């Protein structure tokens, strides 16, 4: 069975610091997808990124970057120069290629202090 682990329950940093959110997954599938979502206090789930298992190229989008390491089954998320608006709960999720449902990690509550 698939499993997603976000070991960091809560992180608190001061604005402008860089912060990395860890995500480790377990699967026997050879093809799969990994996701990151942001959940601000309002409760909606905002899609950030999707990564395919066959594409290990890291991705950067503005202040956000993602490091996918298949050898360590990790898909970590880094926010550079954090801002107060980045405060939210962040979820890492997994889906097997033949499956439809997402398996979520427990989430990391990120607080950016001014």
Partner 1 sequence: SAVISQKPSRDICQRGTSLTIQCQVDSQVTMMFWYRQQPGQSLTLIATANQGSEATYESGFVIDKFPISRPNLTFSTLTVSNMSPEDSSIYLCSAQWGTEAFFGQGTRLTVV
Residues binding partner 1 (CB under 8 A): 33, 35, 37, 42-45, 47, 50, 52, 91, 95, 100-102, 104-107
Q: Between 86 and 94, whose beta carbon lies closer to partner 1?
A: 94
Q: Between 106 and 113, whose beta carbon lies closer to partner 1?
A: 106
Residues 71 and 62: their CA atoms lie apart, in Å, by 26
Least Å distance, CB 62 to partner 1, is: 17
Nearby residues of 37 by Cβ (< 8 Å), 6 or more positions away: 45, 46, 47, 48, 90, 91, 93
Least Å distance, CB 72 to partner 1, is: 22
Burial group, residue 25, by CB count within 10 angstroms (0-12, 13-18, 19+): buried
Nearby residues of 62 by Cβ (< 8 Å), 6 or more positions away: none
Widest CA span in the chain: 44
Q: Between 42 and 114, whose beta carbon lies closer to partner 1?
A: 42
Q: Between 64 and 104, whose beta carbon lies closer to partner 1?
A: 104
Least Å distance, CB 18 to partner 1, is: 25
Least Å distance, CB 65 to partner 1, is: 19
């Amino acid at each position: 069975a698939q499993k997603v682990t976000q070991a960091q329950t809560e992180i608190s940093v001061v604005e402008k610091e860089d912060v990395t959110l860890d995500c480790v997954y377990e699967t026997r599938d050879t093809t799969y997808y990994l996701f990151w979502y942001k959940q601000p206090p309002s409760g909606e789930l905002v899609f950030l990124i999707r990564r395919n298992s066959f594409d290990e190229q890291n991705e950067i989008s503005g202040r956000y970057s993602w490091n996918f390491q298949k050898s360590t089954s990790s898909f970590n998320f880094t926010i550079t120069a954090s801002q107060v608006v980045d405060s939210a709960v962040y979820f890492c999720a997994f889906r097997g290629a033949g499956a439809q449902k997402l398996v979520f990690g427990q989430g990391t509550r990120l607080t950016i202090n001014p």
